[in-house]
Amino acid sequence: MTATDRSIHLTQIAARAADSKQAENLVALDVTGPLPLTDVFLIASGRNEPNVRAIAEEVIEKVEESGAKLLRREGLAEGRWVLLDFGDLVVHVFHDEDRLYYSLERLWKDCPVVPLTVSVP
């Protein structure tokens, strides 16, 4: 099974939103194989806590504008690792240091990468 067109579309919206707030090292992984509960992980980094929060807030705004509902949000107040669960898409926004420590890309290295288009169409 692979990520649905809808989840890939939401991933592109979230990636553009994150990029607009200077997110770094954007990576999207198709996790449909090992995880039956979601399709895509979008992973992004922010330089500091305010940047991480700004990225997460922009992602929430733009993805919700597209009609998706935020099901769960964790870590926004701390601004170190923010998890945004939209069902088909889970967005992880990390502070640089925390991203290195948790290394989600290494944990999910067998999952296919979803190509991202961050420039506005």
**pLDDT single digits (tens) 84-100:** 999 999 999 999 999 99
**Tokens describing residue 20:** 């607009």
Domains and CATH numbers, the chain: 5-107 (3.30.460.10)
pLDDT value of position 119? 62
pLDDT along the chain (121 residues), means of 10: 92 98 97 93 97 98 97 96 97 96 93 85 45
Beta bridge pairs of residue 43: 27, 92
Q: What angle do CA 116, 117, 121 make, to 5 degrees?
A: 160
Query: How far apart, in whole angstroms, are the C-alpha atoms of residue 83 and residue 105?
Result: 15
Determine which helix (DSSP H) or strand (DSSP E) holds 5, and give its type and residue range. Answer: helix 5-20
The pLDDT score that the predictor gives to residue 6 is 95
Residue 7 sits at φ, ψ, to 5 deg, of -65, -35
Report the run of H or E that residue 85 belongs to, with start and end.
strand 81-85
